[in-house]
Chains A and B, each alone.
Chain A
């Protein structure tokens, strides 16, 4: 039963006026499920990325429906939800990694600092240098540790000379908290590291090109708790300089590292809000069911 009507859709021009959007909520729980509604405040005061009415289709399958949300500068935003809910799909829209899938079609708008990243005159090479990515499975290149980190700066021509590159590699590894472990083995293959170290190497590789946003697709799902703790610590430190978007299956992880959390369900953005609020006082029935472990 539809207990109330919520107008949560944000028109594109609404993005320019973030204060105008406050989704009305009653004290009663919302029990119905209508994909056109997103509960919670989707806007932030200082948006780094701005997504409006994003739809993703794989051939005929409508994988993501009318997702609108803002990603604030220097925040960690977590996407949670059951498998197949579209959270990874949405993440991959943010640096156009979905372009590699031939059958994938995307509508709507995603802006990075006010520029539509799906605009014709935006080059994906430049976009991906600005929006870095860390994948679910650690995927270092089968090259040396040094070469892994040096790759990005090298292809983008960011440094002049070997000394500068050395410095950048050192600094990136230090920021990723890996320098102590690899200092003496820079020439060994990146694949010789342990899983957690590999993932931190991938993070070092991503931050070596000094991106503005870092997307992380379940970065700890293949790691043990100790390695996970290290990565989470790192995410918290990185927030100072970068905007981070993290997809995770672990609700504890989302609660630990993020400031805002978005809950996706079957291709819809169901609810978004401050992480504390989502985990202590979810407004939507589906969110509550999910975080209390009733499904997913």
Chain B
């Protein structure tokens, strides 16, 4: 293991590491454009030049491997001056159209220019004209003029998505990033190139001109799009609601987690948040009367539902529940308690398999589009599709008086006539969900649940990793988290669930369910904890501070 000295700090690093990685371990930030820890190293941009003793010239920190006894000066006058001049070269053909550029505010050209830029430019030539505002794919907009040719996106398409759509064409100062002729950047991971682009060359089309990035608030969360549970950040625009067509969530960005998704996220997940601010959101409890939905207060709705369910139970009629793996562990635990203690139901199916097989691959996108199927299984729910089929068959035979459906659109998993014939036989259908959809329209009572972005909770992903997500925005109008709905409904039956926050539910669950023993929101941290085969949490998540840009 070589021992090296970086800016006077001596440290021992692993064999084969490069200077930039070693410096990161020492807490020294070296500027970088082309270097990205998730991609191959090319040494393209030269901004990471450092002075290494006994070497005749300055070396690129990203490409130079550490050797025993190496003495590196990151902040020597010579190295600083070199980086300043490299930045000047990178800006030779940059249009400096920051006012119209969506990257402004998170742009590394701006960042480094403010830190060590040559404030008195020597360049007097005219700038080259290249392609501007080219939509290269369904999600990505390209501006070749702004590109500094770091080739991060080219390498991403070669190595991570393995689709090779992008390339650098022409030579010299006419070099230009473009898609290969006849190709469009439409792979399922295409928008990741926007995240890794250090400048404004690749920007998102959905986010384009909507909000300036410095207006955004960030919340750590987990993608609800599939069983992988990619770590994300929800960027919300709360202070200026007139922007972004009233959408509160501006965009999603992947969050680094080496155990789950590294630096990446798929496009389905990235643009899967639009339902949160959709017009179809249910904002008030609704009661159907003669085919019309009337808005009622929460207390009235719960009182009526209690009346219906209580009468059914007293008359010995059957009340059934269809849960959903879209619900968080907390919601499912509250549902389990509600089923067991209040209604005395012990078999609650949760899974509805879609009719069409959804897209999946062997990288991040999984076939199971629910974030918490594993959690539901661990909590003792029946995650087999056949159980739901049997429930519908019972309904069709007239054996079910009342049915509580959480979130599911049954028309996506069963033939339309099957669903209709089954739900027609059920006297009272109660739907708890966030958005209006065909199944909800068949219900007598509709209770508004909030979406994952509006509540705290945890998901258990396919590998048994329990991950925490935070509320990014307030619940829309009168919607509530499912566990709160169940708590209030249980109170009508005279059962007190002593939960005031999602954390209370989790604490109770950690005590009662062996799979979650020893877990708490604090212990889960940013990376989550894994449930091992004997159903015990095995691994304490190691939380490493992300190295941020350190000013000189």
A, B bound: no
Interface residues of chain B, those whose CB is within 8 Å of chain A, are none
A residues touching B (Cβ–Cβ < 8 Å)? none
